[in-house]
């Protein structure tokens, strides 16, 4: 049974009408305008109190590296935030990053990548690659893991597919939290889940995907990496809830990995909504513990 905290969070989502903010193309464009005017991507004072925070610029965009104060890290994590490729990183992302940095004793790079509609897939992917190369060079011989939630999971997978194609260094593990793997969202199973998803709406996300793709077909693997090549990928670990319209595409991708004999794990949490591991509740703590075990190479 879902925890009380998870049920309260779903109630809050419904009261705030988060799903309504994404209901169709015109609505999401208006939501983008509102959030551009109100959201500050920078880590707030509480994050600075909890972590050492270093800010740098890569390719003209801000990038942060955070770590627990006064500790030598056990892990290095490259983290790509979600937001449908059109919304900036928000305080709940930073809270999760701070919590996870302490729980895993990890140094985490957080790229503030370019967003649509002002920028497109090519800009986001190019910047993510530059940031990744800067971070893995910084880590030296120590392993680096890549983690992304929602659109950040999609961007992360597209980045790793490019690294594989280029013969470049890839992450030790790829952790995908409710990843957006196919921006088309046109499968019948997705329509059936829509009413039960308290957060995401098909129409608005489809519009966001078109803005992100720009002139590139939405079936291009750089836009919809769940359709892309899987040979040579590092171990992929997928975390998805059953009340998330992205679940069918995640399951399809997991099946592809399994059929190809790729190293992977698939964590489907009953009753959970989009990106539940980021929310401070019992189900999230279990997911985070699983991620840390996998980082350590434990079952």
| Domain ranges, ordered by start, for the chain | 4-295
The pLDDT assigned to 256 comes to 98
Residue 87: phi and psi, rounded to 5, are -115, 145
What is the rounded distance in angstroms from the CA atom of residue 224 to the CA atom of residue 48?
35
State how far Cα 45 lies from the chain centre: 23
Nearest to 274 by CA among 4, 73, 68, 10: 10
Checking if the pLDDT of 299 tops 80, the result is no
Strand 144-149 relative to strand 61-68, pairing: unpaired
Length in residues, the chain: 299
Checking if the pLDDT of 1 tops 90, the result is no
pTM, to two decimals: 0.97
Fold of 4-295: Rossmann fold (3.40.50)
17 burial (CB, 10 Å; 0-12 / 13-18 / 19+) is exposed
pLDDT tens digits along 159-194: 999 999 999 999 999 999 999 999 999 999 999 999
pLDDT tens digits along 83-134: 999 999 999 999 999 999 999 999 999 999 999 999 999 999 999 999 999 9
């Amino acid at each position: 049974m879902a925890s009380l905290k998870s049920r309260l969070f779903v109630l809050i989502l419904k009261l705030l009408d988060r799903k309504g903010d994404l209901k169709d193309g015109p609505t999401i464009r208006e939501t983008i305008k509102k959030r551009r005017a109100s959201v500050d991507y920078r880590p707030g004072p509480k994050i600075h109190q909890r972590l050492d925070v270093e800010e740098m610029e890569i390719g003209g965009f801000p990038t942060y590296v955070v770590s627990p104060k006064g500790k030598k890290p056990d892990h290095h994590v490259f983290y790509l935030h979600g937001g449908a490729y059109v919304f900036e990183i928000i305080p709940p992302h930073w809270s999760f990053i701070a919590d996870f940095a302490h729980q895993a004793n990890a140094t985490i790079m957080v790229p503030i990548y370019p967003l649509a509609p002002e920028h497109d897939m090519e800009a986001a992917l190019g910047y993510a690659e530059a940031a990744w190369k800067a971070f893995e060079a910084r880590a030296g011989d120590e392993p680096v893991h890549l983690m992304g939630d929602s659109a950040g999971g999609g961007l992360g997978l597209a980045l790793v597919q490019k690294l594989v194609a280029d013969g470049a260094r890839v992450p030790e593990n790829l952790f995908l939290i409710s990843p957006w793997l196919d921006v088309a969202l046109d499968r019948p199973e997705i329509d059936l889940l829509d009413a039960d998803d308290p957060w995401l709406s098909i129409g608005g996300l489809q519009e966001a995907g078109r803005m992100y793709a720009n002139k590139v077909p939405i079936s291009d693997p750089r836009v919809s990496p769940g359709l892309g090549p899987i040979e040579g990928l590092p171990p992929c670990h997928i975390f998805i809830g059953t009340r998330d319209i992205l679940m069918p595409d995640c399951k399809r991708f997991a099946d592809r990995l399994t059929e190809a004999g790729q190293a992977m794990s698939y964590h489907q949490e009953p009753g959970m909504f989009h990106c539940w591991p980021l929310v401070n509740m019992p189900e999230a703590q279990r997911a985070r513990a699983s991620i840390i075990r996998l980082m350590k190479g434990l079952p």
